Amino acid sequence: MQLSRRGLLVGAAGGGLLVAYALMPRRYPLPLSPAPGETAFNAWIKVARDGVVSVAVPQCEMGQGITTLIPQIVAMELGADWRQIAVEPAAISAQYANPVLAARWAGMWAGLGEGLAGSPEDLLARRFAESHRLMITADGTALAAYEEPVREAAAGVRNLLAQAAADRWGVAWEECEAEAGFILHDRNRARFGELAAEAATYSVPSPAVMRPEAPRERPRDALAGLPPRYPRLDAPSKVDGSFAFAGDIRLPNMVYAAIAHGPIGETVLSRFEPSGAKGIVGLVGVVRTPHWLAAVGTSWWAADRALAAMRPRFDARSLADSGTIDNAMDAALRSGRAHRLAEIGDPDALIGTKPSLASRYEVAPALHVTVETSTATARLIDGTLELWVATQAPEQARRAAARALKLAEADVVIYPLPAGGSFDRRLEQDVAVEAAIIAREVGRPVQLVYSRHQETLRGWPRTPVIALLAAKTVSSGGIAAWRARLALPGTSHEFASRLFDLAGPFAAAVDNGERKDPLALEGAAPPYTIPNLAVDHVPVEIGLPTGRYRGNANGYTAFFTESFVDELAHLARREPLSFRIEMLAGDERLVGCLIAASRLGQWGGGGDASGQGVACHRIDDIAAPRKGGGRIAVIATARRDASGVRVDSLAAVADIGRIINLDIARQQIEGGLVYGLGMAMGGAAAYDRGIPESSRLASLDLPLMADCPRISVEFVDSDAPPFDPGELGAVAVAPAVANALFSATGLRFRRLPLLSEGL
């Protein structure tokens, strides 16, 4: 049997090995386990005798549609019938390692070797991804990481099925076609299922012969009223309620746990009153550790009542406090040591102490506000721990649980579940570790569910930021020099310390808060052509652990940049949209988005009292640094009303390269716009002695359905590499709305949430 150049090796129903080559060969077990009547061809695809094609998906389904996108790539390349496609979560395996994310996060883990791991093609990035089984769902890297290997795997299976059919018919396999689950040649036809077992005995060509066209759907093909060609596979079960989330797991003899953590800071559980829970029907037991207390009951309601009755108390110091955080960041912005992360020309000399304009912007910590709170189910039997959990980082969850229970990693089994929204909240592992400890202590399967208060308390927010932007303009109003100085903690390093080193959250905040962090300033260098430019990071330790968040740094850097550009346009008495286009000679794709958005949003020039605002943004792609990435332009219309402010419409045009599933891309942009609106108007957290001041959804000023504006979305037909739109839709809303509010009210809003300073 011949090995292909890309390391594709076929395994029949009895198992097999799949060989991966990245300069040096390494062997890994075949991660797919075929059931009776199935043939596993590689790490991605199984074919059953009845023709059902099962596709392994190594990413967490969080609403972004990845459990449709990867199977769609398989179906299009393989020639499968969409009605016979099935999905299963991929087992944890180095075969699904994500070198694109490893390269993107190289600054978090590579240390002095960062320069050797900054590309997905770098050996160091691939080795790290494989050794850490990096199947993490984050930063919109799924398509960049998985489209090519999935296409190659599907092409290899199609080639094998064609060979098996061709030998039956005495023809050349290259003349056979694959369509709708059949191999075809003239009048001959054979189902995939009847060929699968025989096909597994053939060798994949080297290289596998792929279709000439990569999977794509064009925006112009989306005719009104026609159903999508590849509807979401998870939609029917979500509609009828049968789709299983973490809270839907039920095991024999299972009990439920509620948990109480201390305030944010250095806290220790000092006392509680066990007698207070006496007489509560359904209480099974109590589990305490130095840092939290859990009550276990036959129902979660009984456990939560018992927990409250025991009145846990914590000794605490160095508590997170918003006043202290603001003072520390303000001092850092004024006089802290800055690390220059980007520089063009000599902006300091031009701007000096007399900029044409300088503005200060602030961003409050932002909560993820997931619909489903953190939930995990754990069962420990005969030294084997099983975990049912929605996690974006399954291997890291497994390692954390194994370390907590002093088990071998091989003795921990993760059953990955979809998340009811995540926005990067499910990158943290606390709930899995705590559920494992509780299951060990009570000796029964247990489901741990955070209350909304605990979710708010332990869901480390997006970092707060203070920024000072300064510019020097020329007589025509153009920008000669630009300088951005941002004060914020080294939030990416904090997160990496928790994810990879398993450090405590408070220790991570203290130890890493004062490190320079390029990822935390992503997007701070404007997409515009400015001859003199500087971006400075002033790291500051704030005593509040911070985490990853939808859009991450782009969510606040887009707000700063596009608000400041609007201020400069107003200062120069220039029309804001043409002012931007004039500076975008090097990015025709972003210019195209702005022009198309002006038409879609019926842009009238953004003059005073028009209530219109414009913003645009670009997110680069490390897998395609020169020709890839995503662009978006948003036109917002806002006005005063009896309740204060109302956003009437959002019109967005995005260029996300080659589109694989137009319907899912539209859902992602639309969902991102609504999410971005929520974060523009609310969703912030303030802390008093380590406790969030608002811990209920109703108190976070999030928009209701009645507050959602009219939304219009279009896509540019682009041949650039595909880009995941999930982050893109959320980041340009806040500046577009802020600029619209300036037009409507004459007031500049320079703090997120926008109305936190009053109207």
Q: Is the whole model's pTM more than 0.85, yes or no?
A: yes
Q: Report the pLDDT averaged over residues 561-579.
A: 97
Residue 221 binned pLDDT confidence (cut-offs 50, 70, 90): confident
Alpha-carbon dihedral sign for residues 461, 463, 464, 469: negative
| pLDDT greater than 70 at residue 16 | no
Which of 416, 434, 458 represents a domain boundary (last residue)? 458
Compute the half-sphere exposure of residue 58: CA atoms within 13 Å on the CB side of its CA. Answer: 26
Provide the token pair at 143. 């398509």
Shared domain for 524 and 593, answered yes or no, is yes
For residue 111, being part of any structural domain is answered with no
For residue 10, being part of any structural domain is answered with no
627 burial (CB, 10 Å; 0-12 / 13-18 / 19+) is exposed
Residue 2 binned pLDDT confidence (cut-offs 50, 70, 90): very low
Supply the pLDDT for residue 739: 97
| pLDDT greater than 60 at residue 465 | yes
| pLDDT greater than 60 at residue 19 | no
Shared domain for 452 and 545, answered yes or no, is no
Mean pLDDT computed over every residue of the chain: 93
How many domains does one find in the chain? 3
Buried b (16+ CB within 10 A) or exposed e, 96-122: bbbbbbbbbbbbbbbeeebeebbbbeb
For residue 226, being part of any structural domain is answered with no
Residue 26 binned pLDDT confidence (cut-offs 50, 70, 90): low
State the pairing for strand pair 53-57/85-89. parallel
| pLDDT greater than 80 at residue 10 | no
Report the alpha-carbon distance of residue 505 to residue 545 in Å, rounded. 6
Shared domain for 659 and 587, answered yes or no, is yes
Which of 458, 488, 512 represents a domain boundary (last residue)? 458
For residue 661, being part of any structural domain is answered with yes
Shared domain for 670 and 684, answered yes or no, is yes
Helix (H, G, I), strand (E, B) or coil at 67: helix
CATH number where 36 lies: 3.30.365.10
Residue-wise pLDDT for 158-207, tens only, equals 999 999 999 999 999 999 999 999 999 999 999 999 999 999 999 999 99
Shared domain for 607 and 670, answered yes or no, is yes
| pLDDT greater than 80 at residue 504 | no
Pair 723, 665: CB distance under 8 Å: no
Compute the half-sphere exposure of residue 12: CA atoms within 13 Å on the CB side of its CA. Answer: 11
Residue 6 binned pLDDT confidence (cut-offs 50, 70, 90): very low
DSSP H or E segment with residue 535:
strand 532-539
Which single residue is written with the structure tokens 């969030």?
A: 692
Domain encompassing residue 393:
246-317+369-458
Supply the pLDDT for residue 716: 97
Shared domain for 341 and 270, answered yes or no, is no
Report the alpha-carbon distance of residue 734 to residue 752 in Å, rounded. 8
